[in-house]
């Protein structure tokens, strides 16, 4: 059988197994199966570790059946079978009730996977999964037996057998495999060939072989990713944009004159950096990261003004309607008459700021679109609606994407494609990005950082309120809210859900316009009570602890004009307490709000909490953020919240966030398509490797004919981008 990476699995394992593998594990081709790596390895001698295990741990042991005995049960009808298994070093008991597994015979070797339990002081498995290793199977002789991620109908053993089919003749395997890592690169970094690595990974003879395999296979992932990004950079460099040099006496000078504060050192430095890059033909491609409240908007506005002065247009893409409207409002406020050129009281030397969102009335939208198309609107602020095909720019010179973590690469590209020549791009995020992530997910962006907060900020302190353990603390929290309001301040209460929707909780989250995907830890167990809801909590607060205050709600199901009006009322101080979903998460700027109470804080991700907290550290008054949870303080969740409360260092939090999320989530869904091809690579631990791969990838892509000189690597890059594209099409 001649195989390639793209051979369908049905030709290897037969149509029936192939079908379930495709359905349940998304394994379709030889490549998929070979890249379906063991999660870990069962070892002979594992039982010596049993003493370290705790009740509830799930383990797989490789052992021999020592004794089998069956007897009728005393309390119930039926047969109880006890099996003792051992591996020479230790032994344990397996228990089966009325089970067909009575067929286990003394002397047989097998793999037994189960959850450790205890019975009269002895460790035991109740109803473990059993896989007897039969005579024609030489696997029992191995020191390490691979344990694969399995599914209901495709067990680890089936996968092991299927992989073995592929590996039976290592030489034909070596021929079937195109190694994406060029030999000189392998030599430089001491990496084994792909066929060897796969053999070591799937059928190791020692732990050292697994290590060799891992190192090499991580390189695959890092190199393919970095080559993809390097190719993108190279393509971008080949297509010049338009230089937008600074001009004095224009909008930028007017903005600087109108600012009610002086820029921080960081704002000035980054401003210079942007001004210089905008003056070049080579399109700027920059990520601006800065703590919540560090003043990124002004930096963006000044860049936009420079582009407008040079005759171009600037678009600001915001993740929510609330935020887009707020940006448009505050830009218009700073610009004054300069932002109303063409209107009666406008300054003809200025430009127009227009807002373009999906919920606008048809007439307003048409008018905005026309102003964008004829170039009279120099600054265009909007949501996803900006990406629509019917939005055409006269001369798009700069794209600013606010709060990047809400947008995928594709959306950034869609907007970029609206310029006749590639526009300059500035991406802003408050979620600090560890260096590895910046190199990987954001690998095609240069990075600037605003480290300093504007002077005179009160800062924010945080505390966890364990409402389950100490209900009195929650009363105290509401008392704090009353005190702040009495002192003239305002408060947010944030809940994970809107509530009050027909048909239960299914569709009850805020739409993509408002809410991030829920953090992974919210998935799963359905026996938890539903998350607290805005409408219920507001009701309870009005009737109870906050009955003397003006309490209003804000969420994604409200009509856009109502949201806008509510936000305006809150900003104007006409509302004391705003009970909201994560619509307030990004960028909302009400400096007089000083307390935030996050209900069911455990339902939010680390960076989401950090973002939320940023809403109450925006003025000169000290802010307070209370994370209310029913999770026990000692639980992992409780610890996570305590850690969030203990630091406001964004970089530390980003690390914590990475630790608590699966890495695939960081690299994947949110940023560049779910199937980012990363399985083994760790953004936390493999910083060095990623940096080296970046150097090699850049070298390969920029020398000679680039990827064309490395067809194997090019194919791997294409496979990755194809996956991404498929993902994108699915979403559309």
CB of 296 to ligand ADP, least distance (A): 3
Q: What is the DSSP letter of 497?
A: B
When the beta carbons of 290 and 638 are compared against ligand ADP, the nearer one is 290
When the beta carbons of 185 and 400 are compared against Mg ion, the nearer one is 400
CB of 573 to ligand ADP, least distance (A): 15
Name which of ligand ADP, Mg ion, none residue 454 binds, using a CB cut-off of 5 to 8 Å depending on partner kind: ligand ADP
When the beta carbons of 454 and 512 are compared against ligand ADP, the nearer one is 454
CB of 232 to Mg ion, least distance (A): 26
CA distances for 263 relative to 290, 351, 454, 571, angstroms: 14, 23, 8, 24
When the beta carbons of 422 and 587 are compared against Mg ion, the nearer one is 587
Which of the ranges 368-376, 546-554, 586-594, 663-671 carries the binding residues for Mg ion, by CB under 5 A?
Answer: 586-594
Q: What is the DSSP letter of 111?
A: E
Name which of Mg ion, ligand ADP, none residue 38 binds, using a CB cut-off of 5 to 8 Å depending on partner kind: none
Name which of ligand ADP, Mg ion, none residue 264 binds, using a CB cut-off of 5 to 8 Å depending on partner kind: ligand ADP
Name which of ligand ADP, Mg ion, none residue 589 binds, using a CB cut-off of 5 to 8 Å depending on partner kind: ligand ADP
Cβ(181)–Cβ(715) under 8 Å?
Answer: no
Cβ(632)–Cβ(370) under 8 Å?
Answer: no
To which H or E segment does residue 492 belong? strand 490-494
**For residue 486, which phi and psi values (nearest 5 degrees)?**
-60, -30
**Nearest by Cα to 534 from 513, 512, 560, 563:** 563
CB proximity list for 683: less than 8 A, separation 6 or greater: 434, 436, 437, 440, 658, 663, 666, 667, 690
Name which of Mg ion, ligand ADP, none residue 395 binds, using a CB cut-off of 5 to 8 Å depending on partner kind: none
Q: Which regions of 120-176 does DSSP assign to beta strands (E)?
A: 122-126, 129-133, 144-147
CB of 707 to ligand ADP, least distance (A): 38
Name which of ligand ADP, Mg ion, none residue 267 binds, using a CB cut-off of 5 to 8 Å depending on partner kind: ligand ADP
CB of 591 to ligand ADP, least distance (A): 6
Q: Which regions of 109-239 does DSSP assign to beta strands (E)?
A: 109-119, 122-126, 129-133, 144-147
At residue 671's C-alpha, the angle toward residues 667 and 673, to 5°, is 85
CB of 580 to ligand ADP, least distance (A): 18
SS3 for 603-662 is HCCHHHHHHHHHHHCCCCCCEEEEEEECCCCCCHHHHHHHHHHHCCCHHHHHHHHHHHCC
Q: Which regions of 311-440 does DSSP assign to beta strands (E)?
A: 313-317, 352-356, 377-382, 396-401, 424-429
Q: Which residues of 49-59 are buried (b: 16+ CB within 10 A; e: fewer)?
A: ebeeeeeeeeb
Which of the ranges 263-271, 275-283, 332-340, 580-588 carries the binding residues for Mg ion, by CB under 5 A?
Answer: 580-588
At residue 613's C-alpha, the angle toward residues 495 and 571, to 5°, is 80
CB of 402 to ligand ADP, least distance (A): 7
When the beta carbons of 228 and 404 are compared against ligand ADP, the nearer one is 404
- Residues 142 and 322: their CA atoms lie apart, in Å, by 61
Name which of ligand ADP, Mg ion, none residue 629 binds, using a CB cut-off of 5 to 8 Å depending on partner kind: none
When the beta carbons of 263 and 373 are compared against ligand ADP, the nearer one is 263
3-state DSSP call for residue 397? strand
When the beta carbons of 173 and 653 are compared against ligand ADP, the nearer one is 653
At residue 343's C-alpha, the angle toward residues 337 and 347, to 5°, is 35
3-state DSSP call for residue 406? helix
CB of 558 to ligand ADP, least distance (A): 23
3-state DSSP call for residue 4? coil
How many C-beta atoms surround the C-beta of residue 544 within 10 A? 10
Rg of the chain taking only CA atoms, in angstroms: 30
CB of 428 to ligand ADP, least distance (A): 7
When the beta carbons of 53 and 263 are compared against ligand ADP, the nearer one is 263
Name which of ligand ADP, Mg ion, none residue 531 binds, using a CB cut-off of 5 to 8 Å depending on partner kind: none
CB of 450 to ligand ADP, least distance (A): 7
**Residue whose C-beta lies closest to Mg ion:** 587
Number of chain residues interacting with Mg ion (CB under 5 A):
1
When the beta carbons of 300 and 549 are compared against Mg ion, the nearer one is 300
The contact set with ligand ADP (CB under 6 A) reads 261, 263-264, 267, 290, 292-298, 430, 454, 587, 589, 591, 618
Name which of Mg ion, ligand ADP, none residue 490 binds, using a CB cut-off of 5 to 8 Å depending on partner kind: none
CB of 495 to ligand ADP, least distance (A): 23
Which of the ranges 79-87, 212-220, 474-482, 579-587 carries the binding residues for Mg ion, by CB under 5 A?
Answer: 579-587
Max CA distance (Å), the chain: 97
**Nearest by Cα to 648 from 303, 294, 387, 281:** 294
Name which of Mg ion, ligand ADP, none residue 293 binds, using a CB cut-off of 5 to 8 Å depending on partner kind: ligand ADP
Name which of ligand ADP, Mg ion, none residue 275 binds, using a CB cut-off of 5 to 8 Å depending on partner kind: none
When the beta carbons of 556 and 587 are compared against Mg ion, the nearer one is 587
| 587 is an interface residue for Mg ion by CB under 5 A | yes
Name which of Mg ion, ligand ADP, none residue 263 binds, using a CB cut-off of 5 to 8 Å depending on partner kind: ligand ADP
> For tokens 């936000």, what's the residue?
567
CB of 297 to ligand ADP, least distance (A): 3
The residue ranges that bind Mg ion (CB under 5 A) are 587
């Amino acid at each position: 059988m001649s195989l390639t990476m793209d051979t369908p699995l049905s030709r290897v394992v037969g149509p029936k197994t192939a079908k379930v593998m495709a359905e349940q594990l998304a394994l379709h081709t030889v490549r998929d199966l070979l890249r379906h790596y063991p999660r870990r390895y069962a070892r002979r001698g594992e039982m010596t570790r049993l003493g370290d295990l705790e009740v509830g741990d799930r383990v797989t042991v490789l052992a021999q059946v020592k004794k089998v005995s069956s007897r009728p049960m005393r309390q119930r009808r039926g047969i109880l079978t006890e099996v003792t298994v051992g591996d020479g070093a230790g032994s344990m008991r397996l228990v089966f009730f009325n089970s067909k597994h009575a067929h286990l015979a003394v002397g047989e070797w097998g793999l037994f996977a189960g959850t450790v339990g205890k019975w009269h002081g002895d460790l035991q498995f109740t109803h473990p999964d059993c896989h007897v290793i039969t005579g024609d199977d030489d696997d029992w002789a191995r020191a390490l037996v691979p344990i694969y991620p399995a599914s209901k109908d495709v067990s680890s053993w089936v996968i092991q057998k299927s992989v073995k089919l592929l590996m039976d003749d290592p030489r034909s395997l070596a021929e079937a495999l195109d190694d994406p890592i060029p030999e000189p690169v392998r030599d430089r970094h001491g990496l084994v060939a792909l066929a060897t690595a796969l053999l070591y990974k799937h059928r190791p003879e020692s732990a050292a072989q697994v290590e060799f395999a891992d190192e090499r296979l991580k390189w695959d992932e890092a190199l393919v990713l970095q080559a993809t990004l390097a190719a993108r950079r190279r393509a971008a460099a080949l297509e010049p944009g338009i230089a937008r040099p600074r001009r004095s006496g224009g909008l930028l000078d007017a903005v600087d004159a109108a600012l009610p504060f002086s820029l921080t050192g960081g704002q000035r430095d980054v401003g210079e950096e942007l001004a210089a890059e905008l003056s070049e033909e080579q399109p700027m491609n920059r990520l601006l990261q800065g703590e919540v409240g560090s003043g990124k908007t002004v930096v963006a506005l000044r860049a936009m003004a420079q582009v407008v002065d040079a005759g171009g247009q600037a678009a600001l893409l915001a993740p929510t309607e609330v935020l887009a409207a707020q940006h448009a409002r505050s830009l218009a406020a700073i610009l004054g008459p300069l932002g109303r050129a063409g209107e009666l009281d406008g300054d003809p030397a200025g430009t127009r700021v227009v807002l373009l969102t999906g919920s606008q009335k048809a007439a307003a939208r048409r008018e905005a679109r026309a102003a964008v198309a004829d170039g009279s609107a120099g600054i265009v602020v909007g949501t996803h609606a900006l990406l629509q095909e019917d939005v055409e720019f006269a001369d798009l010179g700069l794209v600013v994407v606010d709060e990047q973590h809400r947008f995928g690469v594709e959306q950034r590209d869609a907007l970029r494609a609206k310029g006749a020549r590639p526009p300059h791009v500035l991406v802003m995020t408050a979620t600090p990005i560890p260096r590895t992530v910046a190199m990987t997910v954001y690998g095609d962006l240069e990075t600037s950082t605003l480290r300093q907060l504007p002077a005179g900020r009160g800062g924010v302190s945080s505390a966890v309120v364990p409402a389950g353990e100490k209900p009195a603390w929650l009363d105290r929290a509401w008392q704090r809210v009353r005190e702040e309001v009495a002192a003239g301040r305002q408060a947010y209460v944030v809940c994970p859900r809107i509530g009050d929707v027909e048909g239960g909780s299914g569709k009850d989250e805020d739409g993509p316009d408002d809410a991030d995907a829920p953090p992974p830890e919210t998935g799963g167990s359905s026996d938890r009570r539903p998350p607290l809801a805005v409408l219920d909590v507001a009701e309870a607060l009005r009737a109870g602890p906050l009955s003397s205050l003006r309490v209003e709600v804000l969420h994604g199901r409200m009509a856009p004009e109502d949201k806008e009006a509510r936000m305006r009322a809150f900003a104007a101080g006409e509302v004391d307490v705003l009970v909201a979903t994560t619509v307030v998460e990004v960028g909302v700027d009400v400096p007089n709000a000083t307390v935030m109470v996050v209900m069911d804080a455990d339902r939010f991700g680390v960076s989401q909490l950090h973002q939320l907290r940023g809403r109450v550290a925006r003025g000169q008054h000290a802010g307070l953020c209370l994370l209310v949870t029913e999770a026990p303080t000692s639980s992992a969740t409780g610890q996570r919240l305590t850690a969030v409360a203990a630091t406001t260092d964004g970089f530390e939090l980003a690390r914590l966030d990475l630790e608590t999320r699966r890495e695939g989530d960081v690299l994947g869904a949110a940023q560049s398509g779910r199937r980012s091809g990363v399985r083994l690579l760790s953004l936390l631990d493999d910083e060095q490797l990623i940096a080296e791969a970046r150097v090699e990838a850049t070298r390969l892509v920029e020398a000679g004919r680039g990827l064309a000189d490395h067809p194997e690597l090019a194919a791997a890059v294409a496979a990755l981008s194809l996956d991404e594209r498929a993902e994108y099409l699915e979403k559309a």
